[in-house]
Structure 1
Amino acid sequence: MSSLQMIGDLTAGDRRVLAAVNGGASALSFVGSSFIVVCYLLFKELRKFSFKLVFFLALSDMLCSFFNIVGDPSNGFFCYAQGYSTHFFCVASFLWTTVIAFTLHRTVVRHKTDVEDLEPIFHLYVWGTSLVMTVMHSIGNNHGHLGVWCLTQTGRTGKVIHFIAFYAPLWGAILFNGFTYFQVIRMLNNARRMAAGMADHPRQFDARADMKALNRWGYYPLILIGSWAFGTINRIHDFIEPGQRIFWLSFLDVGMAALMGLFNSIAYGLNSSVRRAIYERLEFWCPDKLRRCLPSCLKLRGQEEESELVSLKIQDQQ
């Protein structure tokens, strides 16, 4: 494709900026998600079912970011491979967030202990749905190649299929996660108030750590919203006004979507268990002077180690 060619209102310079933003943001997500994957593989104490779900989420983010970093391959086989692979693993990423939300809800709200037995169903649901959505995405005519994106649907029918194959399950996941975490947080808040009102009932955990975990769970649905809100708006605008792309909207679309893996790795992966595992290794290998220079986020006080709720409550039942 000629470097002087314009697509919509985006010049070759605009597309170079978008490609740079996509590559930089995807690299950050790749590093963040790879860090969680490496922690899971290295630290045996993290290999519990709860963190295994986070591992598969990080693995999907890592592969999605990797294929995003490929950037602007030439038309042909590699472009199609990038487009299909990115679509598959990005869909798998937000589907794994629904699995985590479902697991937390089933354990905390419904008091079920059979979540580990459902792991094969989880894999069938995530990878099977991702494959179906990717195959569906290939349907339609007029596949384009727009700088950062391969397999961009330029025809009206293709754009409708793209909405169905990507944005419909995406916003379905957002609604499901929001409703699920709302129920979990409401139940735990009620339980906390009841425990606080019983003078002879010992506290099960520190109140401040409890509220910290509750607030953290409340942020999880916002990750998908923040990552894909601009992309959704951009696709709707492109459907209504085809060929009239807005640069700043495309800039936010590309940048926020590519940062999804980084957001997930921070929210889901960097919990107290991971920080404790890292600090214990550093405490063993590093001299005293170097340990004193460690970031405060890696230094866990004894009370916090015992009382801080992990990202998934089911770790207490292992």
Structure 2
Amino acid sequence: MVSSAHALARHSNLNASEVRNIAATSCALATLSVTACALASALAWRKRKSWEMVQEVIILILATDLGFCAQYLIVAPRPGSAACYAQAVGGQFFTLASMLWSAVVADVLVRLLVFQDDRAALARRRLPYHGLVWGVSLIGTILPAILGVYGPAGPWCWIDTSLGAPQAATVMRFGTVYLGIWASIAFQIWAFTKVRVVVRRSMALFDEVEELSTMEDSRKAAVDAGRRSLASAQRLFAFPLIILIARGVGTINRIHNWVNPGDDVAALYYLQAIPLASQGWMHAVFCVSGGLQSYIMARCCGGSRAPPPHERRPSKPEKQMSADPGFVDVDLGEVEMV
């Protein structure tokens, strides 16, 4: 690893020690992410008989996150080696796939909750979704290979834009990756803003329905099922926030690489590596733990602010206040029963 770190350092302004330390930091966090994604996927697999389209797409997000973070388990590969090429190709492919599947889950929720598409209409989109995501990811991975621009990129291997690299490398970085990343983020913010309005309105309606003492038991069961599904959908509001955290500094660092080629800054690489390698475990945590997501969203977005005292409803029994344990469980067919 020492000699390969020196070889990577020669392509940037980093020294060998910085290359080793940044790569080792990425590897440690990536190990946590790979483990978390695998465990979350295993939890979902246990519930596979009750899967809905939303859960299926989330499993694919976890799988692509696992693949993306696994590239960092290759620590400081030697430029030109098979390990370097594998890291570059794997990082490119799973970056694109992860971003696209994140956009798909937002699209699925918009179609179900905002546009009221039925399950049959959504099922017809399954193959087009797969074709679009895997097809675009594959094309975006093949193009840099054809142009021969995979190579050292700081402490790792990706698309090489170091001094002397062809201009096509910069075009590939921003044209195939960062444009897609920020388009995906913008779409998700738009989509989840729409979904948030519907969820909050539906939750308010459920509160009103629950106050009817004459409501039949079957109706109460439908309300509880709908509330659980919408509570699970609320967890997914964290996805755009996670991607912003994971990709924000990385974008700044790569713009800096473009503007000042050969003048790499170790601090920027650390700030890029830590959230990027953590993307997998952050997604896994929010898929499994509803309580943590609710806490952060309440602090960041004011999503759970307590109403004024005169507007507060009587406390519900403890069994109705239980939120949504386990894996994200969005069966929006249950919402339609109410």
TM-score band by shorter chain is 0.7 to 0.9
The 3 A distance-change label for structure 1 pair 152 and 313 is: same
Letter in 1 for 2:24: A
Which residue does 1:182 correspond to in 2?
A: 193
The CA deviation string for residues 158-217 of structure 1, in whole angstroms up to 9 with x for no partner, is: 112211111111111000000000011122334445666788697835999799657534
How many angstroms does 1:83 deviate by? Answer: 1.1
The CA deviation string for residues 114-149 of structure 1, in whole angstroms up to 9 with x for no partner, is: 212211111111111111111223354654324632
Q: Secondary structure at the match of 1:138?
A: helix
The 3 A distance-change label for structure 1 pair 142 and 54 is: closer
Contact 2:11 2:152 survives alignment (8 Å): no
Structure 1 unaligned residues grouped into runs of 5+: 273-300
Q: Could you tell me which of 220, 224, 227 is aligned with 2:243?
A: 224
* Aligned alpha-carbon RMSD (Å): 3.2
Letter in 1 for 2:53: F
Which residue does 1:38 correspond to in 2?
A: 42
Q: Secondary structure at the match of 1:259?
A: helix
CA distance in 2 between counterparts of 1:315 and 1:86 reads 37
Contact 1:185 1:214 survives alignment (8 Å): no
Structure 1 residue 57 corresponds to structure 2 residue 61:
yes
Contact 2:107 2:191 survives alignment (8 Å): yes
CA distance in 2 between counterparts of 1:27 and 1:86 reads 15
Structure 2 unaligned residues grouped into runs of 5+: 292-317
The CA deviation string for residues 57-104 of structure 1, in whole angstroms up to 9 with x for no partner, is: 111111222222122233233321221122111211121111111111
CA distance in 1 between counterparts of 2:45 and 2:226 reads 33
CA distance in 2 between counterparts of 1:184 and 1:142 reads 40
Aligned pairs for 1:269-280 within 5 A:
269-270=288-289
Structure 1 residue 66 corresponds to structure 2 residue 64:
no
Q: Secondary structure at the match of 1:79?
A: helix
How many angstroms does 1:219 deviate by? Answer: 2.1
Q: Could you tell me which of 241, 259, 262 is aligned with 1:240?
A: 259
Structure 1 residue 96 corresponds to structure 2 residue 101:
yes
CA distance in 2 between counterparts of 1:120 and 1:158 reads 32
Which residue does 1:78 correspond to in 2?
A: 83
Please, which moves more after superposition, 195-204 or 180-189? 195-204
Which residue does 2:175 correspond to in 1?
A: 164
The aligned length equals 290
Letter in 2 for 1:33: C
CA distance in 1 between counterparts of 2:231 and 2:278 reads 24
Q: Secondary structure at the match of 2:158?
A: strand
How many angstroms does 1:255 deviate by? Answer: 1.4
Q: Could you tell me which of 126, 131, 138 is aligned with 2:133?
A: 126
Percent identity, aligned pairs only, is: 22
Contact 1:27 1:69 survives alignment (8 Å): yes
Contact 2:57 2:105 survives alignment (8 Å): yes
How many angstroms does 1:314 deviate by? Answer: 2.6
